[in-house]
């Protein structure tokens, strides 16, 4: 959980709120209040007790530092929190104090509180993801037909359009948003099992209390308590991890496009943003750095959630605790990367003229595939490949356009006229194919809306 | 990819077949054959060429070692494979040779081949998962009412039934099987984009070829080629990782139950299985070790898939290559853990009498929660907790049953008669609650079938 | 960086101080002050400017929240910090303001500041490690001859002494402390390179300034600036990771010994420590949980540091940022685990009588290796192994001591007399061997002191 | 362990030999032979038995597949290996068969065998590292004064020399080679503890046998058996991981320099190397891809070794097994990356003219730091920074050289004459500073040799 110094770089303000110490306390208290109301509804505790408890469950009344210290002794936060809450209740209504946390165990409060925070976190991510999707839809539409060079292995390959690159980013973002929704929804279940997951302390009324609590908190009821089965949370963590990986892919591309030698796109310069303390001319791609650092960190955090899964028996030791900071960090990193990228792509400075000049810089080599395929029916696939490969080498060595080198080759002239050769170097087909793919992606998206 | 020495320990025979070198070559060849047939169907290459190519796409005709060495030079296996296939085709039909791999790029073959292997791998996992589910359903049913102690933090907590523990394993397995199906299904898409994902080399017929190829191979057509967008594969890898984490949880529990001092369950002893070279009396829980080692390894492999995601531009370098062995290893580990655990749980030796004696060994302390809750209305929750805590300490120090210690306490006697106290130490309520949960889980499962 | 709520559970107070936001600001300011003094000494800036700058480098004068927000815009904290420091200096001495941060780049300040924090962190860890070592030396000495059962695969194997187990923990702790010292020492180098690592802005005086700065801060001078070469930090992170793994091993053992059914050791109960909100009788091994959770989290954090290493050119983007929170978290987790375990092992409650009764519970089976080896000269190794294996099975099935079962076996009687057999079941040899190993370890340690 | 298809891409031939199935069997057999000889020397078993055993310990006599299958049942390879060896010995000399593996446990053989393989692996890495070091020394010397632009955040920063970049790679490689030697040396210890690490089965002669075995195998004797303390291996794994991270850093830089738009360096084109199946003009940086994929995979593998450390009691289950394939994979990946990079850098094609033209492309902006510092004494640091920043923006917008823009600025003219301004744009100082650093690094290296 990044503090005030690092927080603003690595996360969004909304998400920091969700996972703040105050936010965590309140989530635990929301569980306690919901439990009291649910138990009153089902007739397990007096209505009046539920009212008193419910009214006092406000994080402002609790001393974060003191609960942190006491929680370190007891091994979890719920024990000192319940003790403090009980004291507050007792001060108002002695009788009601006995009904605080009735029949529940610490992990019930901690896990359900976590689920409540997760729900808030998912809401915040949804908004940021939507902003990113809108930015990408806009870019893809505007640049559906903007020619640029496609690059493989960091080498010029064949012409594409910038819109096609953006459409790839867009589709991946949509897939990850969808999976995050699914994994998030599956994780929104209440935890209520009592000491060992049987809810036995509530007798026959256990299941009814669980249902009422879920209704109070607008969560689902799981088939069984899940104290030592953390697969839903791990699944959610991996959905965040894969989303961050996709954001890292987008940021990798943008940072490469923004290189001084490439210059095809750059993050909008805001006052003071991305400057350098020593070099007045620098414009650093800060959003890309934030997303790439999230992409470097998320895999390790996801691995932690998975490594923590084999928890002992009905409630484990160590594995459960390893989740406590790890899942929040994943949310924070994801939100930071999403928010930054959404802003950066919303204001991306695109340089179509640099795209075009870069496309042309390799003297026709990017069209070598087309030429090779045109010659293959005459020379065989391998013969054609070899001929073109030789011509490419000469073109690079002599700094002459591949078309001109090929134009002098008798082997080529025998099969392709001057005009045919000329046509092969027109990237129009490539670009049309790219544009069509972009248009289809956008059309399908519009239909779905 | 474990060799013959380690393979049998860490994977199932079927899964080793899927990911063998031979299996990988054949999958690449299935792509080439499917592509030729698809292109003939759409009219891009001659029907006769497609027939010749298709007939020669058999892995037996290829030298694995030689292709491995040549692939190391070129950076991928498709280049030497296509060269060798072209030579084979040329020997039969000179004209057809020019149409091998027509319009495709190496990654099209490698990725689609991978997807074909994934489909086989998913099929094998499905069978093993079904066997595990059946074993767990059987155990849960037979032991729905078998009392044992629930353990939290590796300490005795409260009574549960063994069936409840098994039902937890079962539900988690079902959830992970479901998620694996979803992620697996989403990954079963063809890869066909040509040099930079535009399919431009096939002109206007590109999309039709992609559809025909998908039909040939019974795969789905993606919205866009996905050469540098690996999120579907990463997602599938994480689904395997979370499943393995669940298997690790089950194995952790079984290995703890099998401890000499606990003795509540053990893997069936097969001749020669789990023996020790130095200690004739040992029965080592080998299946648990296999599953736990998979659970220790999967997180790192999943992290690799995530870390490899930010691939450069239209096709990256390094990230893509990092997947090549990692995803297969995840499949292999998952299958080894699943197969072993399915067998071990299918033949699990359960010792209800040890469960009962362990439950009784803590002199009634496991019922302390019930007593505390019974006294809370009279003494307040905290007062009751403190009274019982003191009695527990005395019980442990003096080696006397908690019921007897409490029976002498005037504070208790004032509120609870001898009979009421006796009843509180009857685990029946706990056990009934456990059993009910198990029955519900099994009933729901039967409905769904 | 865990906040006040989680911090106390996962770290020690001293270490939280080191890595607090305030601590980080001060470390950056210590760099700026040291740089100014060094540059004055070498004659690059006026002495008076250095004095003013140096005097104003106090974290209390800076607004953490504001610097965090501004740093998020610029991409690092040094830019707003230097701006604020410059304003403070200008208010005192207009002329001096121009010499703040002279010739340095942001990363010089951030990295050197980090190194200063690392040095403090290493000091804190050293103390905790020493406490743990002392606790282990004490335990090993007291229990050098205390018999217990050795366990392999969680099964009873052969007799050992508790001291031997502790000596293993001790040796591993000593090895890790040594490696941490080495890696820590290697990382204590100043960072000063200016914009791209050439120190060119300081002209010919660059190297002299670097040496003077290092002297000011009592750090070493590296051969080259290391802006994009993070191997020393990664190495330090892995030394922390391997140490935490060792602490996890110790905690795993202690938590297993503390199981209700085993009962051979337990963490000392402090008032309120390790209690349960629902179960008055519970004593949870909180220190073990803290160490095991650190051991679950450290591998992912180490992986992050390694994954962040391939940083671009002279200063990268993303990789560098991924370290900022990760290395501090490793320090925090290590300190939490060390401090907790040192306390827990210092006050460990050892139960020799439970050790002895557990050793005896397996009816002599733990001596089966000795019997097998005694019979091998007569029956061959495999014949002896088979005979003893059968006897072990019968012993377990019939609940009779292995010695008695073997005593009835004619095949045994032919070679071993009653008394010889009796002697083989005396664990004395095993225990003497264990004790000797412990004594040697302790003697060697004393010599080294 | 990559098979014949993937092996050649991801590892060197020598390293594949070391970790082959055959290599592993032989290492286990070397332990058995060494043990027999050691025990004969100490007088524990007959000399003749040792001779027979020793002579038969040849991997060729063993069926890898069969031992793999049997090992899967028993949970480790040593059990079937010892059984087969015993049968071979018995066929020669019935009496000797009883002394095979005398007093040892499976893990003694497996761990010591592993250590023997590690020693071979370290030798192979040492050679490859030396080749890389030589290549880098050569490059640094030849290009100590070759001007190029330094890049931070993937943006042009200030001038450096190519030699300085190479010297950074070199220093990091030397540091990692040193640390690998240290960690490797520490891991070369024999494992011999018998069933639970006490060596009790050998009575008073245990320690002498351990020393004799170590002498036979030329390994060190550890203070204690280390069956469940894996920190030395984890430490070695991390040393490999940090080395691979450094190789990844080098490969990242080279791949960025090799971009079509940058073109400052490229891997030498070998016949058939780095070609493309669809694009005849492509030269893919295959060595960089191999090193970058290793750098993407190593962090996860290191994390696995760390996660596997908390092994249970005297010998664990799961954690130990998780190492079996993981450490070899780290060796294989490291060797592949090292070998490829050594070759690629040995034959690196450097383009000084592209370096110079790229340096000049940013119209003097890379000298903005110098100008800012020259103006600071007159305008204050912030005033100067602001003035230069504005001039930089104008220079970029108008496509004019920064020197010319500044030349028109009255604020500049007041303090800097035309000639002084001209001098500030001479990168000579920067380049001299770079060159001096390179020369010092190389001189120091020569001294050490």
pLDDT in tens, D302-320: 999 999 999 999 999 999 9
Q: Which residues are CB-contacts of C401 (< 8 A; sequence separation ≥ 6)?
A: C363, C364, C395
Mean pLDDT of chain C: 93
Q: Measured between CA atoms, how close is A183 to chain C, in angstroms? A: 22
Span D244-251, average pLDDT: 98
- Judged by a CB distance cut-off of 8 A, whether residue A266 touches chain C is no
Query: What pLDDT is attached to residue C70?
Result: 94
**pLDDT value at A1 more than 70:** no
Minimal-distance CA residue of chain A relative to D299: A300
pLDDT of residue C423: 86
Q: Which tens digits make up the pLDDT trace of C64-115? A: 999 999 999 889 999 999 999 999 999 999 989 989 999 999 999 999 999 9
- For residue C1, what pLDDT band results from cuts at 50, 70 and 90? low
Report the residue from B21, B101, B285 with minimal CB separation from D4: B21
Contact B255 D317 (CB under 8 A): yes
Tens digit of each residue's pLDDT (9 = 90 or more) over B134-158: 999 999 999 999 999 999 999 999 8
Closest-CA residue of chain D to B328: D2
Partner-chain residue, chosen from D172, D242, D440, that has the shortest CB–CB distance to C306 = D242
Contact D231, C176 (CB under 8 A): yes
With CA atoms as reference, report the closest residue to B101 among B77, B117, B85.
Answer: B85
Tokens standing for residue B433: 């609650």
Give the Cα separation of D426 and B216 in Å (integer).
65
Q: Do A234 and B245 touch (CB under 8 A)?
A: yes
List the catalytic residues of D. 276, 315
Q: Across the interface, which of C153, C362, C372 has its CB nearest the CB of B285?
A: C153
Q: Contact, A52 vs A93, CB < 8 A?
A: yes
| Inter-chain CB proximity A152 and B313 less than 8 Å | yes
- Using CA atoms, how far apart are residues B170 and B345, in angstroms rounded to an integer? 11
Strand partners, D161: D147
- Is B197 close to A249, i.e. CB distance below 8 A? no
According to the model, what pLDDT value does residue B377 have? 79
CB distance A68–C284 less than 8 Å? no
- The encoded tokens of residue D75 equal 């949970």
pLDDT (tens digit per residue) in B275-313: 666 666 777 899 999 999 999 999 999 999 999 999 999
When pLDDT is cut at 50, 70 and 90, the band that residue D424 belongs to is confident
> Active site residue: A315, A362, A395, A434, which one?
A315
Q: Is the pLDDT of residue C248 over 60?
A: yes
CA–CA gap between residue C108 and residue D152 (Å, rounded): 13
Picking from B251, B277, B279, B370 by the largest number of C CB atoms within 10 A of its own CB, the best residue to mutate is: B279
Instruction: Tell me the Cα Rg of chain B.
Output: 30
One-letter-per-residue 3-state SS of chain A: CCCCCCHHHHCCHHHHHHCCHHHHHHHHHHHHHHHHHHHHHHCCCCHHHHHHHHHHCCHHHCCHHHHHHHHHHHCCCHHHHHHHHHHHHHHHCHHHHCCCCCCCCHHHHHHHHHHHHHHHHHHHHHHHHHHHHHHHHHHHHHCCCCEEEEEECCEEEEEEEHHHHHHHHHHHHHHHHHHHHHHHHHHCECCCCCCCCCCHHHHHHHHHHHHHHHHHHCCECCCCCCCCCCHHHHHHHHHHHHHHHHHHHHHHHHHHHCCCCCCCEECCCCCCCCCCCCCCCCCCCHHHHHHHHHHHHHHHHHHHHHHCCCCCCCECCCHHHHHHHHHHHHHHHHHHHHHHHHHHHHCCEECHHHHHHHHHHCCCHHHHHHHHHHHHHHHCHHHHHHHHHHHHHHHHHHCCCHHHHHHCCHHHHCCCCHHHHHHHCCCHHHHHHHHHHHHHHHHHHHHHC
B86 contacts B79 by C-beta, under 8 angstroms:
no
CA distance A309 to B242: 8
DSSP class of residue D270 equals P
**What integer best gives the mean pLDDT of chain A?**
93
A390 in contact with B at a CB cutoff of 8 Å?
no
Give the pLDDT confidence score for residue C426 in this predicted structure. 86
Q: What angle do CA A377, A383, A387 make, to 5 degrees?
A: 110
Q: Say if CB D152 and CB A275 are below 8 A apart.
A: no
CA distance B390 to B372: 11
A99 backbone dihedrals φ, ψ, rounded to 5°? -100, 0
Q: Give residues 96 to 115 of B whose Cβ lies within 8 Å of C.
A: none
Taken as a whole, chain D contains a residue count of: 449
What is the tens place of the pLDDT at every residue in C222-247? 999 999 999 999 999 999 999 999 99
User: Would you say residue D410 has pLDDT above 90?
Assistant: no
Residues of B in contact with A309 (CB under 8 A): 242, 245-246, 248-249, 295
Please indicate whether, in this complex, the C-beta atoms of A98 and B381 are within 8 angstroms of each other.
yes
Tell me the average pLDDT across B59-69: 95
* Residue scoring higher pLDDT (C284 or C298): C298
**Is A426 part of the contact surface with chain B (CB cutoff 8 Å)?**
no
- Whether C59 and chain A come into contact, CB under 8 Å, resolves to no
- Provide the pLDDT for residue D279: 65
Residue C276 has pLDDT above 80, yes or no: no
Smallest Cα–Cα separation from B288: which of B250, B243, B262, B259? B250
Q: Collapsing DSSP states into helix, strand and coil, what is residue B310?
A: coil
Question: Residue A119: which residues within 8 A CB-CB, separation 6 or more?
Answer: A184, A188, A219
User: Of C285-294, D127-136, D262-271, where does mean pLDDT reach its minimum?
Assistant: D262-271
- What pLDDT band is residue A371 in, cutting at 50, 70 and 90? confident
Residue D123 neighbours by CB distance under 10 Å:
12
* Closest listed residue to residue D196, CA positions, set D107, D112, D114: D107
Q: For residue D315, what are the β-bridge partners? A: C152
Chain D residues 349-378 within an 8 A CB cutoff of chain A: 358, 361-362, 365-366, 368-369, 372
Can you give the pLDDT at residue B297? 98
Q: Residue B256: its pLDDT value, please?
A: 98
Of B284, B302, B304, the CB nearest to D75: B284
Which of B281, B293, B388, B400 is most worth mutating to test chain C (most C CB atoms within 10 A of its CB)? B281
Helical (H) or strand (E) element with D266: strand D265-266
Asked if residues B85 and B97 have their Cβ atoms less than 8 Å apart, the reply is: no
The pLDDT of residue B269 is: 66
CA distances from B406 to B358, B396, B422 (A): 22, 13, 10
pLDDT tens digits, D142-177: 999 999 999 999 999 989 999 999 999 999 999 999
A340 noted as active-site residue: no
For residues C2 and B256, which has the higher predicted lDDT (pLDDT)? B256
Per residue in A281-332, pLDDT tens? Answer: 777 899 999 999 999 999 999 999 999 999 999 999 999 999 999 999 999 9
Q: Which residues, at least 6 apart from D96, have a Cβ–Cβ distance to it below 8 Å?
A: D46, D48, D49, D52, D53, D89, D90
Closest CA to D184 of D144, D239, D261, D133: D239
Burial letters A46-76, b for 16+ CB under 10 A, else e: beebbbbbbebbebeebebeebbbbbbbbbb
Give chain C positions within 8 Å (CB) of D153: 312, 315-317
Handedness of CA C270, C274, C276, C281 (dihedral sign): negative
Lookup: tokens for B152: 């939290």
pLDDT over threshold 60, residue A367: yes
C228 inside 8 A of chain A by CB: no
Mean pLDDT along residues A63-87? 94
Which residues in chain D (284-313) have CB-CB distances under 8 A to chain B?
284-286, 288-293, 295-297, 299-304, 307-308
Q: Are C235 and C186 in contact (CB under 8 A)?
A: yes
Query: Over the stretch A105-162, which tens digit does the pLDDT of each residue have?
Result: 999 999 999 999 999 999 999 999 999 999 999 999 999 999 999 999 999 998 999 9
Distance from CA of B314 to the nearest CA of C (A): 20
Segment B386-395 mean pLDDT? 87
Beta bridge mates, D334: none
B/C interface, count of CB pairs below 8 Å: 126
Interface test with A, best of B45, B78, B80, B152 (most A CBs within 10 A): B152
Residue D272 has pLDDT above 80, yes or no: no
CB-based contact C152 B282, cutoff 8 Å: yes
Element (H, E) at C131: helix C106-142
User: Which residue of C242, C291, C355, C362 to mutate against D (max D Cβ within 10 Å)?
Assistant: C242
Are B6 and D8 a contacting pair at CB < 8 A?
no
In this prediction, residue B397 has a pLDDT band, given cuts at 50, 70 and 90, of confident
- pLDDT, average across residues C308-316: 97
Average pLDDT, chain B: 93
pLDDT higher than 90, residue B372? no
Residues in chain B: 449
**Chain B within 8 Å of C282 (Cβ-Cβ)?**
yes
Q: Does A46 touch chain C (CB under 8 A)?
A: no
Task: Answer whether D380 touches C (CB < 8 Å).
Answer: yes
Helix (H, G, I), strand (E, B) or coil at C106: helix
Q: State whether residue A54 sits within 8 Å of chain C by CB.
A: no
| B428-440 tens-digit pLDDT | 878 998 999 999 9
State the pLDDT at residue D183.
98
| Distance of alpha carbon D99 from alpha carbon D109, whole angstroms | 15
Cα–Cα dist C44/D334, whole Å: 45
Picking from C4, C79, C248, the nearest residue to A64 by CB comes out as C4
pLDDT of residue D153: 95
Q: The pTM is what?
A: 0.97
C223 touches chain D (CB under 8 A): yes
Q: What distance in Å separates the CA atoms of residue A46 and residue A33, rounded to the nearest whole number?
A: 13
Give the pLDDT score at C409: 87
Q: Which of B279, B289, B322 sits opposite D293 (nearest CB)?
A: B322
- Block residue for tokens 């596997």: D308
Per-residue CA distances from A364 to A374, A405, B313 (Å): 15, 10, 20
For residue C156, name the pLDDT band (cuts at 50, 70, 90).
Answer: very high
**Could you tell me the pLDDT band of residue D275, with boundaries at 50, 70 and 90?**
low
Q: A275-294, pLDDT tens digit by residue? A: 666 666 777 899 999 999 99
pLDDT tens column, B184-220? 999 999 999 987 778 887 888 999 999 999 999 999 9
Determine the angle formed by the axes of helices D106-142 and D206-217, rounding to 10 degrees.
Answer: 40
Classify the C-alpha dihedral A299-A301-A305-A306 as positive or negative: positive
């Amino acid at each position: 959980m990044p503090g005030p110094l690092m927080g603003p770089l690595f996360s969004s303000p909304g998400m920091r709120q969700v996972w703040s110490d105050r936010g965590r306390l309140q989530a635990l208290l929301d569980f306690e209040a919901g439990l009291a109301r649910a138990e009153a509804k089902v007739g397990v505790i007096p209505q009046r007790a539920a009212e008193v408890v419910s009214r006092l469950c406000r994080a402002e009344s609790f001393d974060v530092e003191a609960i942190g210290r006491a929680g370190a002794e007891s091994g979890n936060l719920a024990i000192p929190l319940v003790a403090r809450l009980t004291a507050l209740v007792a001060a108002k209504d002695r009788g009601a104090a006995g009904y605080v946390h009735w029949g529940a165990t610490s992990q019930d409060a901690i896990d359900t509180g976590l689920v409540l925070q997760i729900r808030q976190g998912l809401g915040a991510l949804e908004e940021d993801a939507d902003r990113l999707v809108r930015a990408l839809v806009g870019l893809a539409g505007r640049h559906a037909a903007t020619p640029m060079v496609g690059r493989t292995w960091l080498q010029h390959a064949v012409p594409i359009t910038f819109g096609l690159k953006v459409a790839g980013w867009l589709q991946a973002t949509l897939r990850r948003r969808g999976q995050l929704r699914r994994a998030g929804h599956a994780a929104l279940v209440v935890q209520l099992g009592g000491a060992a997951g049987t809810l036995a302390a509530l007798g026959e009324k256990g299941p009814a209390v669980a249902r009422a609590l879920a209704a109070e908190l607008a969560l689902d009821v799981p088939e069984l308590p899940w104290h030592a089965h953390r697969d839903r949370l791990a699944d959610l963590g991996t959905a965040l991890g894969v989303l961050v990986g996709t954001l890292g892919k987008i940021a990798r591309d943008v940072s490469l496009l923004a290189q001084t030698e490439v210059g095809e796109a750059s993050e909008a310069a805001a006052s003071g943003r991305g400057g350098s303390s020593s070099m007045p001319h620098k414009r650093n791609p800060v959003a890309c750095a934030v997303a790439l650092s999230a992409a470097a960190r998320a895999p390790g955090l996801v691995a932690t959630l998975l490594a923590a899964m084999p928890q002992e028996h009905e409630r484990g030791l160590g594995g459960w605790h390893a989740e406590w900071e790890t899942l929040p960090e994943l949310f924070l990193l994801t939100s930071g990367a999403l928010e930054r990228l959404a802003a950066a792509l919303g204001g991306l400075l695109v340089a179509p003229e640099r795209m075009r000049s870069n496309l042309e810089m390799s003297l026709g080599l990017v069209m070598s595939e087309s030429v090779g395929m045109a010659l293959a029916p005459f020379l065989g696939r391998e013969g054609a490949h070899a001929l073109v490969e030789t011509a490419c080498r000469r073109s690079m060595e002599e700094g002459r356009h591949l078309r001109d080198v090929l134009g002098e080759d008798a082997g080529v002239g025998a099969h392709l006229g001057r005009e045919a050769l000329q046509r092969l170097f027109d990237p129009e087909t490539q670009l049309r194919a790219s544009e069509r793919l972009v248009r289809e992606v956008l059309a399908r998206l519009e239909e779905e809306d």
